[in-house]
Amino acid sequence: MIINTNISALSSAKHLQKSQANLDKSLARLSSGSKITDASDDAGGSAVSMKIDDQVKRFNAMKANVGNAISFTQAQDGYLRDIGSALNRMGELALLALDPTKTDVDRTFYNSEYGRLAETVIDSASKGWNGIKLFSPNPLVVTSDAEGATFNIAGIDLTDIMVDIGGNIGSLSPAGIALGNIKDAIAIIASNRATVGANQARLYSVSEQISVTSENLVAASSRIQDVDVADEAAEFAEFNILMQSGTSMLAQANQLPRSALSLLQ
C-alpha cells in the first residue's frame, strides 16, 4: 500500500478523460448533424465529400444556365406565335384585297392595317433578351455538364421574313404578290417554331439529367457527412454512462491512500 503514487486514480483519470473526449465529440455530432466535425474524424471522407459538394454547386450553376436558356427559347416562341398571328391576319387582308368587287379605295383601308401589322412583325423580329438578340442565325451555346462542356441549340433566323412582308395591298396586282409572300413567311415561322420546340425538348432533357445527377451526388455526400442520429444517440448514452461511472470510480480511487492511515493508528 503506497501514498505518493495513486496508480488507480491515474488510470481512472485517463479513462475519464477519454470518455469526456468521446462525449464531447458525440455532442458535437448531434448538435451539428454532421459526423465529420473535423478532418481527423474521416480524412478521406472529408476530402471526397468536399469534392462532391463542389460538384453539386457547379451542377446547380449549370441548371441555372439551362433554365435561362429555356426561358430564352420560351421568349422566342412567344414572339414567333405573335408574329404568326400577325402574318395570318396579313394574309387574310391580302386575300380580301383580291376581291374584284372592291375598289382601290377599299383596298387602301386594308393596306393601312396591313402596313401596321408589317411594322409589328419587323419590330418583334428585332427584340432582344437580356441584351442578346432573340432571332439570329447564330446558335446559342449552353453548358452541358459541370466541367464546362457545351452544346449548341439552333439559332432562329428571320431575315427572309423581313423580305417577304414588303409591298402593299393597295391594288390587285401587289395584293396577289403580297399574298404569296405572306404564305412563304408563315411557312418560315412554322418551321422556326418547330426548331424552337426541338431546342426546348433538348434543354428540358438536359435539365432533368442535371436534377437526377445532382440528387445522387447530394445523397452520396450525405452518406459520408451526415450523422445517423439513432446510432449517435446510442453512443452518446454509452459515453455519458462511462463519464458518470468514471467520475465515481476516480472519486473512489482518490480515497484509497486514506486506507494507509489505518496502519498508523
User: pLDDT tens, 97-126?
Assistant: 999 999 999 999 999 999 999 999 999 988
Judge whether residue 184 has pLDDT over 70.
Answer: yes
Calpha distance 56→61 (Å, rounded): 9
Helix (H, G, I), strand (E, B) or coil at 142: strand
Question: What pLDDT score does 197 carry?
Answer: 94
Calpha distance 186→88 (Å, rounded): 7
pLDDT band at 253 (very low <50, low <70, confident <90, very high): low
Q: How far is CA 60 from the centre of its chain?
A: 4
Question: What pLDDT score does 221 carry?
Answer: 80
Three cell numbers written together for 35: 459526423
Nearest to 121 by CA among 174, 171, 176, 81: 81
Q: Report the DSSP beta bridge partners of residue 117.
A: none
Task: Measure Cα distances from 94 to 32, 100, 180, 224, 249 in Å.
Answer: 73, 12, 9, 70, 104
Nearest to 75 by CA among 116, 117, 132, 122: 132
Q: Which residue has the cell 421574313?
A: 161
Q: How far is CA 64 from the centre of its chain?
A: 4
Q: Which of 75-79, 140-144, 182-186 has the lowest mean pLDDT?
A: 140-144
Ramachandran angles phi, psi of 10, nearest 5°: -65, -45
Calpha distance 212→218 (Å, rounded): 10
Three cell numbers written together for 27: 455532442
Nearest to 132 by CA among 71, 202, 197: 71
Judge whether residue 5 has pLDDT over 70.
Answer: no
Nearest to 17 by CA among 249, 261, 258, 260: 249
More confident residue, 249 or 131: 131
Calpha distance 257→3 (Å, rounded): 5
What CATH code would you report for 43-225?
1.20.1330.10
Judge whether residue 192 has pLDDT over 90.
Answer: yes
Chain length of the chain: 265
